[in-house]
Amino acid sequence: MNETETKIKALRQELEKHNYNYYVLSAPTIPDYEYDERLRELQAMEDAHPEYADPHSPTRRIGSDLSKDFEQITHAYPMLSLGNTYSEDEIREFYNRTMRLLNEPFEIVAELKYDGTSISLIYDQGRLTHAVTRGDGTRGDDVTANVKTIRSIPLKLIGDHHPDTFEIRGEILLPWAEFDRLNKEREEQEEPLFANPRNAASGTLKQQNPAIVASRKLDAYFYYLLGENLPAATHYDNLQTARTWGFKIPDVIRKCNTLEEIFDYLAHWDAERKNLPVATDGVVLKVNDLRQQRNLGFTAKSPRWAIAYKFQAERAATRLNSVSFQVGRTGAVTPVANLEPVLLSGTTVKRASLHNADIIEGLDLHIGDYVYVEKGGEIIPKIVGVDTNARSTMQTGEKVRFLPDCPECGASLIRPAGEATHYCPNESGCPPQIKGRIEHFVSRRAMDIRIGPETVEDLYNAGYVQNAADLYTLTFPDLLRLERRAEKSAQNLLDSLEESKSIPFERVLFALGIRYVGETVAKRLASAFLNIEQLREATFESLMQVNEIGERIAQSVLNYFADEGNLSILGRLQASGLQMAVGEAAQSSRSDKLQGRSFVISGIFAHHSRDVYKALIEQHGGKCTGSVSGKTDYILAGDSMGASKLEKATKLGVTIINENEFLNMLNE
């Protein structure tokens, strides 16, 4: 190694050490100007000697001006959300349930729930290789170039004692001070203000220009280590070890052995969190032992070994100036309160949802009232009360009443029996519904077509698009005639439309926007009916046989296919080449071995998790339910099966099988 290469490497090591001291330990050892001088020196040497380039050099953190589209990466371990609670009683239930399921001593790790955007970092041989957003939990965006600009994230780990490959998860955050600075700057430039630090962090991370990301001084805290050959058998010890590798692990993490210790932690941080430099909205509780975590397993959406406790929302009083009404893609009409701006949980609140007519009536709102505003989960503002005593000292306006007609198209609103929401029935002629359905259709989790709300608005106003099928008739000249549409962006949209024709059937179903049919329900319907023709011919009874499909969803599906306009759009989408059937590979793995049989899964298993067994049952035609009844055929029982389920199964004569017997059923 010659003198130049030796000096470059020495400078890199020194700068990374200073980064760690400043951004992780918050204990800088040199002034900022000295750091900047060394960084400039390194940059100059690298420019003069490109043969010694290193993608993990500290100089790469400043970001380049190159723009690129984000690629998507599938998570090795799904990034599930946590079950949330605002109740100490539910914390007690979680603790007691964990005690009952494990039937052995356990520890709970308590840590603050930071309010940013989730990130997964992959390290190979001690170097950062990928940074991936949560996305839909299964796959996320590759934002590695942007994450490399965050100085509290190590590009190369300290020391050598770490797994060859591992994943660490955490939260990308925008500190309060930086949030305030950015909003002041945006206000001076007459740009829209960021609503809160979480949205600002998320939006910054999706910037196409890493130099902009670098300028916003994001931070990152880490809370979970995954992979093979982890250094310890407990979550707490793994985090402490990760700290020695250079990661910013919060020092507020505590091990708790009793409920009292957990509640003391909650009470302390409910008050003290207001003094932290970043936004928090609760506490996360996790079973410490990794073996016990595996035994507890997962539900469909979240781990059984963890729960998030949300702090009670902060409240403020302000004046109600007016009420406006918004129409969504399903025709739902939502009243919105327009407020005198008020500072709440670190952000300025100007609007709050009033939800529905019953809420308005219950609050007895008048224009000019002073109202109490809270932020649910510290993000979404809502009005929770009225200062009626203030009416005697001030003049208020007329009583707020729900509109009888649609504010957009004038159609008479309807309120279905048993529902709190009013709807505009003019689906084919109400502009917000038309545009909203198209925006839903093109969204990331649906057809993933690269088109924003502004372009949808332009296409609708120009008369080119009235429904989703019209998108596939767009031409290059059509798009060029739109204002602000350049040739490259026009071609990108056409390419994206072509790519969307390979989107699988279950996402096409979700994209159609059938009322009450979300992502999970769309997967259930696709799995049960395999193609659009079978689903169109489904009866109310056959729909009700599908797991998680109730009367309301079944009727909504029938109503959708009874509408001639919907059938016309479907026919055009199918003619355009969209996937209207489950792929052959997915169908080949299915069977009817368990057709018509109902299962309840209970206990802890050795071979597979509950989620795997649930998927196997459904894959082979069976149905999973949560409770034992006279219609239950089998209980798939593991260790520590619930006593109440065992008692009820014995009373009803339900057959109880273990996992080996179940797997033999599939192999017969």
H helical segments located in 500-627: 505-511, 519-529, 532-536, 540-544, 551-562, 564-575, 584-588, 610-619
CA atoms of 622 and 97, how far apart (whole Å): 28
Between the two ends of the chain, the Cα-to-Cα distance in Å is: 65
Q: Which CATH topology does 3-62 take?
A: Helix Hairpins (1.10.287)
In CATH, what class is 431-502?
Answer: mainly alpha
| Residues sharing a CB contact under 8 Å with residue 572, sequence separation 6 or more, in sequence order | 469, 472
pTM for this entry: 0.51
CATH architecture of 505-588: Orthogonal Bundle (1.10)
Between CA 250 and CA 253, with CA 252 as vertex, the angle to 5 degrees is 85
Diameter of the chain measured on Cα atoms = 84
- Per the CB < 8 A criterion, the answer to whether 53 and 46 are in contact is yes
CATH number corresponding to 84-310: 3.30.470.30
Sign of CA pseudo-dihedral 271, 277, 278, 279: positive
Between CA 411 and CA 353, with CA 517 as vertex, the angle to 5 degrees is 55
Per-block mean pLDDT, blocks of 10 residues, the chain (668 long): 87 84 63 70 85 80 49 86 84 95 96 93 94 87 90 92 94 91 70 75 82 88 94 96 95 95 94 87 95 88 89 84 91 92 79 88 90 68 85 80 95 89 92 93 90 90 94 92 78 93 93 87 87 94 84 92 94 95 72 85 78 78 80 86 77 90 84
Taking Cα atoms as reference points, which of 272, 313, 296 lies closest to residue 112? 272
Q: Which CATH topology does 315-392 take?
A: OB fold (Dihydrolipoamide Acetyltransferase, E2P) (2.40.50)
- Spot the catalytic one: 68, 113, 156, 248: 113
CA atoms of 138 and 469, how far apart (whole Å): 28
Fold matches, 431-502 and 505-588: yes
> What mean pLDDT, rounded, does the chain reach?
86
For 152-303, strand residue ranges (E) read 165-173, 219-226, 254-256, 280-287
Taking Cα atoms as reference points, which of 580, 437, 418 lies closest to residue 503? 580
Token pair, residue 488, equals 């490259």
Instruction: Give 463's strand partners.
Output: none
Domain 598-667 superfamily per CATH = BRCT domain (3.40.50.10190)
The domain locations on the chain are: 3-62, 84-310, 315-392, 431-502, 505-588, 598-667
SS3 category, 189? coil
113 is catalytic: yes
Bridge pairing between strands 598-602 and 422-423: unpaired
